[in-house]
C-alpha cells in the first residue's frame, strides 16, 4: 500500500477559502461595483454609497449561500462518511436502514457516478500519481473553470435573445433566465470531470507559473472573473436592450431583505445582473474547491480511488472454467445419496449438458425427417 503525504493544513486552508468564496468575495465584488460612485468625484452626489451597505452585505451573503447550495446539490456532493452509512436518508433520519449493505452499495454507486465523486478521484490521482501539491491542483481546476463560468453567465441572456418573443411571458423574464441557467449548470457540472481529467495537469502547471510570477492570492481569480463576467453580462444586456421593468427580481429582492432587516433598503436597478454573475462564478468556484477538499484526503477508501482497477477482463474460457469448478465443488459437497448412487449434478453445468443433449436430439430428428 502506497504511503500518502499529509494534506491536513492544505485542506484546512481550503475550508477557509470556501468560507471566503461564499461570503467575502461577493461582498468585495459588490463593494467594488456599487459602493464607490465615480460620478460623485466631480458632481454633487456622495462618493461613497452608504445607503447600499445593507444590500451589499445581505446580497453577498444570500447569493453566496444560494451558490453553495447549488454547487452541493447539482454536483452531487456526498462525504465518504455519509456513503459508508448508506447515504443521506439514513444520516438525516428519513430512513432507519443505517449501515444497511444494500443502502451502502447504492450510496457508493451514486457517489462514484456523481460529478463530485469523479472530481475527488481526479484530485486524488493528481496528488498521488502525478505527485502534485493539493493547492496546485486546486488552482488548476479553478483555471479550467474560468471559461465555463463566463459561458454560464451569458447563457441566460443568450436564451432570452434567441427565444421567440411569442414564447415570452411578460414580467417572467427572470424565471425563464433561471430555468436556462439551471439547465446549463447541470450540463456543465456533468461534463466538467471529463474535461478536467484531460487538462488538469497542464492547468496546474500554468497556475503554478502564474503564482510564482505574479504572486496572486486565492481571492484574485474569483474577483477577476467576477469583474470580467460583470462587464461581459452588462455589455450583452446593453446590446439586447430588454425592458428593465419586466425584471421583477428587484422588488422581490427588496421585500425579502427588508423582511429580515429593520431598515429601508436601496437596491440597484441592475442588481439582477449581479445575480447572474454571482450564480455563474461562485457555484463552479465552490464546486472545484469542494472537490479538492474531498479528493485531498489522506485516507480515501479503496472502493472510491481504485474501484475501476479491480475489474478484470474475463474471457469465455475463464467463465466456463469457473462454472465447472463451482459445479465440481457442489457435487463433492452433495456426495452420494442413500442408495450409493452419485447424486444428480445441479447448477449451471447440468443445464449446459441438458441443453447440449437436447440440441443433439433435435439435430438427429431433423436428419431422420430429411431421410
For the chain, 371 residues long, give each residue's pLDDT as a single digit of tens: 445 567 888 999 999 988 888 888 888 888 888 887 766 556 566 677 788 888 888 888 888 898 899 999 999 999 999 999 999 999 998 888 888 999 999 999 999 999 999 999 999 999 988 889 999 999 999 999 999 998 898 888 777 777 776 776 766 677 777 888 899 999 999 999 999 999 999 999 888 887 777 666 666 777 788 888 888 887 877 776 655 555 555 555 656 665 555 556 677 777 777 878 888 899 999 999 999 999 998 788 989 987 655 444 444 444 455 545 555 555 555 554 444 444 444 455 555 556 556 655 665 555 555 55
Task: Parse the chain into domains and list their residue ranges.
Answer: 8-77+114-307, 316-370
Angstrom distance (rounded) from CA 186 to CA 194: 14
**Burial per residue of 31-40, b for 16 or more beta-carbon CB atoms within 10 angstroms, e otherwise:** bebbbeeeee
Cell of 297: 484526503
DSSP string, 316-364: HHHHHHHHHHHHHHHHHHH-B-TTSSBPPP-SHHHHHHHHHHHHHHHHH
- 3-class state of residue 36 by DSSP: strand
DSSP string, 174-194: HHHHHHHHHHHHHHHHHHHHH
Angstrom distance (rounded) from CA 123 to CA 141: 9
- Backbone dihedral region for residue 313 (phi beyond 0: left; psi -120 to 50: alpha; all else: beta): beta
Beta bridge partners of 301: none
Residue 159 makes CB contacts below 8 A (sequence gap 6+) with 176, 177, 180
pTM for the structure as a whole: 0.76
Amino acid at each position: 500500500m502506497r504511503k500518502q503525504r499529509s494534506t491536513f493544513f492544505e485542506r484546512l486552508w481550503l475550508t477557509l477559502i470556501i468560507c471566503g468564496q461564499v461570503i467575502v468575495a461577493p461582498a468585495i465584488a459588490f463593494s467594488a461595483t456599487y459602493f464607490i460612485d465615480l460620478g460623485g468625484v466631480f458632481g454633487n452626489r456622495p462618493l461613497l454609497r452608504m445607503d447600499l451597505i445593507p444590500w451589499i452585505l445581505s446580497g453577498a451573503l444570500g447569493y453566496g449561500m444560494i451558490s453553495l447550495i447549488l454547487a452541493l446539490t447539482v454536483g452531487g456532493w456526498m462525504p465518504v462518511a455519509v456513503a459508508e452509512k448508506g447515504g443521506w436518508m439514513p444520516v438525516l433520519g428519513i430512513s432507519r436502514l443505517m449501515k444497511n449493505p444494500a443502502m451502502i452499495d447504492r450510496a457508493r454507486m451514486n457517489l462514484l457516478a456523481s460529478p463530485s465523486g469523479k472530481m475527488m478521484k481526479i484530485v486524488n490521482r493528481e496528488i498521488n500519481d502525478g505527485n502534485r501539491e493539493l493547492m496546485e491542483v486546486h488552482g488548476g481546476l479553478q483555471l479550467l473553470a474560468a471559461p465555463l463560468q463566463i459561458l454560464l453567465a451569458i447563457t441566460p441572456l443568450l436564451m432570452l435573445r434567441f427565444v421567440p418573443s411569442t414564447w415570452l411571458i411578460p414580467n417572467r423574464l427572470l424565471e425563464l433566465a433561471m430555468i436556462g441557467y439551471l439547465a446549463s449548470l447541470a450540463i456543465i457540472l456533468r461534463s466538467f470531470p471529463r474535461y478536467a481529467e484531460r487538462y488538469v495537469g497542464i492547468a496546474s502547471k500554468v497556475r503554478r507559473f502564474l503564482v510564482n510570477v505574479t504572486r496572486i492570492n486565492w481571492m484574485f481569480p474569483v474577483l477577476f472573473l467576477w469583474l470580467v463576467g460583470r462587464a461581459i453580462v452588462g455589455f450583452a444586456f446593453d446590446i439586447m436592450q430588454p425592458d428593465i421593468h419586466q425584471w421583477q427580481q428587484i422588488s422581490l429582492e427588496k421585500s425579502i431583505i427588508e423582511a429580515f432587516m429593520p431598515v429601508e433598503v436601496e437596491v440597484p436597478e441592475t442588481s439582477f445582473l449581479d445575480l447572474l454573475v454571482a450564480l455563474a462564478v461562485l457555484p463552479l468556484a465552490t464546486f472545484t474547491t469542494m472537490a479538492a477538499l474531498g479528493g485531498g484526503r489522506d485516507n480515501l477508501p479503496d472502493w472510491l480511488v481504485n474501484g475501476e482497477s479491480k475489474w478484470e477482463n474475463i474471457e469465455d474460457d475463464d467463465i466456463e472454467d469457473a462454472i465447472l469448478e463451482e459445479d465440481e465443488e457442489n457435487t463433492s459437497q452433495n456426495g452420494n445419496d442413500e442408495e450409493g448412487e452419485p447424486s444428480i449434478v445441479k447448477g449451471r453445468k447440468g443445464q449446459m449438458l441438458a441443453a447440449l443433449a437436447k440440441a443433439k436430439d433435435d439435430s438427429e430428428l431433423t436428419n431422420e425427417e430429411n431421410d
